[in-house]
Amino acid sequence: MSSQKKKVGQNISANNANWTFQGIEKNFQKHISTSVPMYSESHKIALNIADFFLKENSNVLDIGCSTGYFLDELYKKNKKKKVNYHGIDNTKSMISFCKKKRSKKIKFHNNDYLKFKNKKKHDLITSFYTLSFIPTSQRQTFLNKIYKELNWGGAFIFFEKIRGPDARFQDLFSLIYQDFKLNKGLSEQEIVNKSRSLKGIMEPFSNKGNLNLMKRSGSNSCF
């Protein structure tokens, strides 16, 4: 079988079962807007919710910050407040991009969150479409760490791809998702290539599965 990279859209190519975020930072925002329904809306929702949790000297952490777009928007919206912004991502090229393109008021870290030693607690932790890329064996530990690093009354805001609760709904989700990508201009072959590249890399849970992880971490207010 050929190991040649296949096109997945927006001048990005990937190998079978070997998707990586390394080296795609310049085209990432365009690509994800064609791959994730309501991606920009999820940022707007998080920006509005953040108003209820950010105060003077608050600490904010965005896990899987990619290009740093959300943190930059959050900083711009809250310039009049003294807030400590941190972004973490395990992709080196993404963090290099962030340090060049985003506000110097935001500190970016190239690290695995589970290995990241953090001495301060946060009023807000965010994560956009990152959880399904965490190995399933580490996912509970990942969420336990987040819960422990929140101040009392703090918030963890995350958006995630999910699987359907049963086979019928999974088929429904999959077909609607394919139509979304086609309507965004991706070809059928690009959609197939992307799905093949994510084999063994991305493992979404159902909504119930994610909520159970959250409850076991200690959170009793999930919505």
Question: How far is Cα 36 from Cα 100, in angstroms, rounded to an integer?
Answer: 26
pTM tops 0.85:
yes
Confidence of residue 80 (pLDDT cuts 50, 70, 90): very high
Q: What is the mean pLDDT of the chain?
A: 95
User: Range with the lowest mean pLDDT among 55-59, 114-118, 197-201?
Assistant: 114-118
The 10s digit of each residue's pLDDT in 10-21 is 999 999 999 999
Confidence of residue 218 (pLDDT cuts 50, 70, 90): confident
pLDDT score, position 3: 65
- The mean pLDDT value for 43-65 works out to 97
The 10s digit of each residue's pLDDT in 127-142 is 999 999 999 999 999 9
90 — phi, psi (to 5°)?
A: -90, 5
pLDDT score, position 220: 66
- The mean pLDDT value for 80-98 works out to 97
Give SS3 for 108: strand
Give Rg (Cα) of the chain.
Answer: 18
Confidence of residue 222 (pLDDT cuts 50, 70, 90): low
Contact 143, 217 (CB under 8 A): yes
Domains of the chain and any CATH numbers: 17-164+195-217 (3.40.50.150)
- The mean pLDDT value for 51-67 works out to 97
